[in-house]
Amino acid sequence: MLEQIALAWQSLVYTFRELFRGTLWIPWLLLGAIELAVVAALWWFAHPALSWLMAPIVALVAGSSALHYPAFFRELPGIFSRIDLAIVALVGSLAIGASTALFAARFAGRTAPPGSGFAVALRRALPLILVNLPLNLLVVGIPFALESWVATRGSSGLVVKAAQILGLCGAWLAQALFIYGTALVVLSGRGVVGAFASLPGAATRGLWAALTLGIVTWLPVLPMQLLTRKVAPIFDRGRPELVTALVVAQIVLALVTSFVLTGGITLVYQTAVAGHEGDRR
């Protein structure tokens, strides 16, 4: 356990050294550009050029009341988070795959152009999406399911807080159990069945490292997520448009932490996981 935790911190150090290496950011910048374009489209959902598409989406996700000012901005974080689930599940899985390939080459001392990472991700697109799907669903679904169950029972505030903490812990553990899936697909050439079959062994050899990297990269994001879920003070001060700035800040912070997490997990996989099954490439 202590060896894995130490390895996780060393991986973070190495990844932070690459934080300003532009070529490693290309997959995340493309993902961020798509997410920001969605935010812009939501902002301008009433514009004639966009209303035919965005207005029905807003009404479907948040109800017809969200089509009016300022109620729309109160619902904006929730609307975007639901759309972002699909973006992360599809484009995000490819971005993680491309980033993993680029980080692996960098940590192995090789020079890899950004296009090589995208080539790997596109060639392995379906396995990447399917292998990451349980991770994406569980990380979001576990907290949501627990909070919804507690809410339907009319529980006290203390029970609700406990359910929130338990949900976060469940999502944290689920992330650690499934997070090596991308490396198994990209770096070891596993298919969907092979990757899922190899996940228990990978998680056993790298669980504590994954848990450490997960909590370190979640800590900066959680306060921002809580802030975007409680936007009443912004409305009380008469500045509902500032909610958009919070959503954009959340996107930027999530991209940075995803960059760091992917780099750290890639190095842990190369160092402590892959070699045990002859998977290192």
Q: Where are the alpha helices (H) located in 219-241, listed in sequence order?
A: 221-229, 232-236
Cα–Cα–Cα angle for 229, 233, 238, rounded to 5 degrees: 120
Q: For residue 217, how many other CB atoms are within 10 A of its CB? A: 21
Q: Are 262 and 186 in contact (CB under 8 A)?
A: no
- Tell me how far apart the alpha carbons of residues 245 and 231 are, in angstroms, rounded to a whole number: 12
Q: Enter the DSSP assignment of 159.
A: H
Residue 168 is assigned to a structural domain of this protein: no
Tokens of residue 188, six digits:
């070891």
DSSP state of 92: I
pLDDT tens-place string over residues 25-35: 999 999 999 99
Instruction: Please give the structure tokens belonging to residue 108.
Output: 């192995």
Angle at 135 between CA 131 and CA 136, to 5 degrees: 105
The per-residue pLDDT for range 148-182, each reduced to its tens digit, is 777 666 666 677 778 778 888 888 999 999 999 99
DSSP assignment letter at 269: I
Q: Find out whether 58 and 45 touch, Cβ atoms under 8 Å.
A: yes
Q: Give the pLDDT confidence of 70-107 residue by residue, as tens digits.
A: 888 888 988 999 999 999 999 999 999 999 999 999 99
pLDDT at residue 273, rounded to an integer: 87
Q: Who wins on pLDDT, 229 or 240?
A: 240
Domain-embedded: residue 77: yes
Q: What is the dihedral of CA 92, 96, 97, 100, to 10 degrees?
A: 170
What is the total count of domains within the chain? Answer: 1
What is the length of the chain? 281
CA-CA distance, 269 to 203, in Å (whole number)? 10
CA gap 207, 269 in Å, rounded: 11
Question: Which residue reads 């998977």 in tokens?
Answer: 279
| 169: in domain | no
* Residue 151 included in any domain: no
Q: Has residue 248 been placed in a domain?
A: yes
Separation between Cα atoms, residue 259 and residue 242, nearest integer Å: 26
Distance CA 58, CA 66 (A): 7
Domain-located, residue 160:
no
Please indicate, yes or no, if residue 149 is contained in any of the structural domains.
no
Residues with Cβ within 8 Å of 86's Cβ and at least 6 positions away in sequence, in order, are: none
What digits encode the pLDDT tens for the residues 239-276?
Answer: 788 888 889 999 999 999 999 999 999 999 999 888 65
> What is the distance between the alpha carbons of residues 127 and 168, in angstroms, rounded to a whole number?
27
Q: Does residue 250 lie in a domain region?
A: yes
Residues sharing a CB contact under 8 Å with residue 175, sequence separation 6 or more, in sequence order: 135, 138, 139, 210, 214
Task: Tell me the residue range of the domain where 247 lies.
Answer: 2-141+178-277
pLDDT value at 281 more than 60 = no
